[in-house]
Homo-oligomer: A and B are copies of this chain.
């Protein structure tokens, strides 16, 4: 999508032909900084420090990280070490496993001298695939929005609530949850987005708001606490979120707080859709609540926050009393029973094993 009129992806090959450029998202929304990754360690650090985030973009960064590793040292040991290093960055992100699981065997069977070039080609193909997947998710989601809008005769806007950032900054381009919103906006439907700020890292207030503003989509930032009230009062027509990992049964792991919005949506009969590229599906798991390990992050993400001072500096401020104890769970799981539908690149299905296998019959063989 566009920034200051120039089209960007969220990750791309530098003009030097080998460095990998990313938008350093830890500086958004206040500064637009491009960072060049030149080692696998830099790629791993970018993932762990959330300079890049969002399941598809994490996968793409890991893929290019492997390419950077192979350029530096293409031996078997280096290949295994690079995969291990990248896998250790974010335990919840199944796209990491997917991207590396796809590249590792293909690279391993090549002579070391051919691995770097092949890894770059595989990473580029993975990025192009992600864009195509999100474009398809956007088209399918657009039909959901068209259907709801057709039933809102005379309304000033169609109100969509989203949690976290599943926009183009979370993918290579388009986004997952926001792809249908961008498509609806471009098709002339007056969408308005309630943007959950998404504590503790405020990806909604920072990134989703930044994206929507850049693209000209109407929006209001709200605190994560507000969505239930809005739904009670008929001010939300649709909830759409992304997901970091969806299991075979349709249980959805996403940013902490998603489950609360799903409960409110059900209590108020608001449709709750989850957009997911198929690499996000973990076919090996069935019970999302019991089986998905939930990353617990540094409590300082809860007790302090950074923002822009009046002077324009970025500063971190402490929110809690000195020495307070805090906990920081990064994700939660929304049970399939609360999900109206899953929007994938192959179409929309109910959140169930039957629904998912209807779209992905080739996965029927995989044991859960």
Contact = CB atoms under 8 A, between A and B. Distances in A.
Interface stretch (A124-132, A219-227, A236-244): A219-227
Contacts of A205: 302-303, 319-320, 324
Nearest to A262: B228
Contacts of A210: 321
* Interface-central residue, A259, A264, A305, by most chain B CB under 10 Å: A259
Q: How many copies does the complex hold?
A: 2
Contact of A221 (B206, B229, B264, B320): B320
Contacts of A113: none
A325 B223 contact: no
Interface in A188-236: 197-200, 202, 205-206, 209-210, 213, 218-230, 232-233
* Interface-central residue, A220, A307, A320, A324, by most chain B CB under 10 Å: A320
Given A225-B224, A260-B225, A320-B209, A307 B304 contact: yes
B228 A257 contact: yes
Interface in A263-295: 263-264, 267, 289, 294
A261 B228 CA distance: 10
Given A259-B232, A308-B317, A319-B206, A224 B224 contact: yes
A323 B200 CA distance: 22
Contact of A317 (B218, B260, B309): B309
Contacts of A294: 229
Assign chain A's interface to a size class. 35 or more
B329 A226 contact: yes
A244 to B, nearest CB: 14
A227 B260 contact: yes
Contact of A224 (B29, B257, B326): B257
B302 A305 contact: no
A257 B228 CA distance: 7
A306 interface: yes
A263 to B, nearest CB: 4
A63 interface: no
A308 B318 contact: yes
Contacts of A232: 259, 289, 332-333
Nearest to A324: B209
A304 B206 CA distance: 12
A253 to B, nearest CB: 10
A222 B319 contact: no
Given A205-B320, A260-B264, A308-B318, A326 B213 contact: no
Interface of A: 29-30, 197-200, 202, 205-206, 209-210, 213, 218-230, 232-233, 255-257, 259-261, 263-264, 267, 289, 294, 299, 302-310, 315-329, 331-333
Cβ-closest 7 pairs across A and B: A225-B257, A307-B317, A29-B321, A229-B332, A263-B263, A199-B223, A221-B326
Given A222-B302, A224-B224, A229-B329, 16 more contacts: A29-B324, A198-B225, A199-B223, A210-B321, A219-B325, A225-B255, A225-B260, A226-B257, A229-B256, A229-B332, A232-B333, A233-B289, A263-B264, A309-B316, A309-B318, A315-B315
